[in-house]
Amino acid sequence: MKVITTHNNADFDSLSSMVAAKKLYPDAILVFPGSQEKTLRDFLIHSTLYIFDIAKVKEIEYNNIDTLILVDTRQKKRIGDFAKILHKENLTIHIYDHHPPARDDIRGNVEYIENTGATVSILVSLLKEKGIPITPEEATVMMLGIYEETGNFQYPSTKVDDFKAAAYLLSQGANVNVVSDMLVKELTHEQVILLHDLMNNASIYN
């Protein structure tokens, strides 16, 4: 049994990377190892645009897993109970990640570890290289991961490959309007201070 999973407190890069990895491993099962960020939970609960066949972790028979595909992480402490099978005999591990090295990194039989702004950018590049088709809905979800993880391409960690991946997803029908609507736009530090000042100096008139 092949399983695609990610890190606890999963975000949009986690989900989009899982969706992209499913294109590479069509017979694999998608499963979150634990919790998800609130914006992602809301997306999964309320969105009627995308239906993902994501199994619950309690439904997984760990002893039956022969291939573990990790996306957006390679840290042992971040994959929940899946860490318990890392020393299982004959277990094959495939890793797709963009994070810098850490002390408890897992070693994979196959590793795609690159310095990109988002993990899904690595996977999109592979899908393009292999000529694997992407539906507009899948492209939109993958675009969500890139936009969130790069801060709409404003974070210093953003790389050329992120732009290339986004351009390819756009050519595959990704809906940028949906991406814009889905991502929560949090206030900056300066905006929070301004809001605080406005509230403290507000006058009420009846």
101 backbone φψ class: left, alpha, beta (φ>0; ψ -120 to 50): beta
**Statement: residue 111 has pLDDT above 90:** yes
Output 35 or 137, whichever has higher pLDDT.
137
Point out the least confidently predicted range of 11-15, 120-124, 171-175.
11-15
φ, ψ of residue 69 to 5 degrees: the values are -105, 115
C-alpha span between 7 and 85 (Å, rounded): 15
What's the pLDDT score for residue 59? 87
- Percent of the chain residues topping a pLDDT of 90: 67
Which residue type does 169 have?
Answer: L
Q: Taking the CB of residue 201, how many other CB atoms lie within 10 A of it? A: 7
| pTM (two decimals) | 0.83
Q: Are 99 and 79 in contact (CB under 8 A)?
A: no
Q: Are 78 and 86 in contact (CB under 8 A)?
A: no
Q: Which residue has the tokens 């039956």?
A: 64
What's the pLDDT score for residue 113? 97
C-alpha span between 171 and 168 (Å, rounded): 5
Output 108 or 203, whichever has higher pLDDT.
108
14-36 pLDDT, tens digit per residue, is: 999 999 999 999 999 999 987 66
Confidence of residue 203 (pLDDT cuts 50, 70, 90): confident
* 90: helix, strand or coil: coil
Confidence of residue 98 (pLDDT cuts 50, 70, 90): very high
34 Cβ contact partners less than 8 Å away, ≥ 6 residues apart: 8, 9, 10, 57, 80
